[in-house]
């Protein structure tokens, strides 16, 4: 074992003692970041090249600063995104939401599908949709200027068009034309603030996390926006907390102009997102 791997083992124990959920992965990822190599190449770093700044990054992670804020990058499906203070860090569980949406759009008989991502944040969902659905026209909506600083960096050179607008009143010029509306909105109840992991509670933007007493305020608003934007037969896909699986589909009722409302699990088989189809006239 070289010096770096020995230090990584010590760092992993420190992170575990601090309550970090994935201590070994984070210790290795920080080591790879500091030394400019891939995680699988750590054993090749000569002892003489060990960089003591590694322990500075470990201390930041030990204090529960998000790994992605320390490295400045987050990985989402086939993307590497720039992230940092002011923008929500995309989560792995959202990848299954996007995967379902991509399959649904590919199954549509539409040459150039029109897709809207509400509360786009870093742009992860919008960029993944644009990358994996050829000829799609993708629009990302974000209200926070702090978040948009990161979104613009990530979207540079892509086919995603960004709009600084409120998701609840966005893009009236597309009313009745959109094929798919997708969103990972804020959905944590205000009453659960103290139970949220420090990485999210103390570092993610509050407006990207919390949404009313039951966490569903923004989802209720997006239901109206999606119904306004979608063409008849168009789809809405919306992420929610794993404790809200029995609630969100009931927001998309037949009385409000929806059909086929359903809930779907993530890769851990926990309720993760709801879908519905705008009813035909």
CB 112 within 8 Å of CB 45? no
By C-alpha distance, which of 140, 167, 277, 141 is closest to 222? 167
Residue 187 annotated in ligand binding = yes
Q: How many angstroms separate the CA atoms of 222 and 253, rounded?
A: 14
Q: How many angstroms separate the CA atoms of 171 and 139, rounded?
A: 9
Residue 195 annotated in ligand binding = no
Residue 142 annotated in ligand binding = yes
Q: Are strands 230-239 and 160-164 parallel, antiparallel or unpaired?
A: unpaired
Q: What's the helix, strand, coil split of the chain in %, to 5?
A: 45, 20, 35
Burial of 75 per CB tally in 10 Å (0-12, 13-18, 19+): middle
Residue 186 annotated in ligand binding = yes
Phi and psi torsions of 107, nearest 5°: -80, -10
Q: How many angstroms separate the CA atoms of 231 and 222, rounded?
A: 15
Residues that constitute the known binding site for substrate: 184-187
Residues that constitute the known binding site for S-adenosyl-L-methionine: 142, 184
Residues that constitute the known binding site: 142, 184-187
């Amino acid at each position: 074992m070289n010096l770096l791997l020995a230090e990584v083992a010590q760092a992993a124990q420190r992170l575990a003692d601090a309550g970090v959920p994935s201590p070994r992965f984070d210790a290795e990822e920080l080591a790879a970041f500091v030394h400019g190599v891939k995680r699988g190449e750590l054993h090749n770093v000569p002892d003489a090249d060990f960089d003591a700044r590694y322990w500075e990054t470990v201390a930041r992670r030990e204090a529960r600063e998000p790994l992605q804020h320390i490295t400045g990058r987050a990985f989402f499906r086939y993307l590497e995104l720039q992230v940092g203070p002011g923008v929500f860090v995309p989560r792995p569980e959202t990848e299954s939401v996007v995967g379902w949406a991509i399959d649904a759009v590919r199954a549509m008989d539409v040459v150039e599908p029109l897709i809207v991502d509400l509360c786009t944040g870093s742009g992860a969902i919008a960029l993944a949709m644009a990358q994996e659905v050829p000829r799609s026209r993708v629009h990302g909506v974000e209200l926070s200027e702090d978040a948009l600083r990161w979104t613009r960096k990530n979207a540079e050179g892509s086919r995603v068009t960004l709009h600084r607008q409120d998701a609840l009143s966005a893009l009236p010029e597309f009313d009745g034309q959109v094929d798919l509306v997708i969103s990972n909105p804020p959905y944590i109840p205000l009453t659960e603030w103290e139970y949220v992991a420090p990485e999210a509670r103390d570092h993610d933007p509050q407006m990207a996390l919390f949404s009313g007493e039951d966490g569903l305020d923004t989802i209720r608003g997006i239901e109206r926006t999606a119904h306004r934007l979608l063409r008849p037969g168009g789809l809405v896909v919306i992420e929610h907390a794993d404790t809200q699986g029995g609630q969100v589909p009931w927001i998309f009722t037949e009385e409000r102009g929806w059909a086929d409302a359903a809930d779907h699990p993530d890769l851990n088989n926990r309720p993760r997102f709801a879908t519905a189809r705008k009813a035909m006239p």
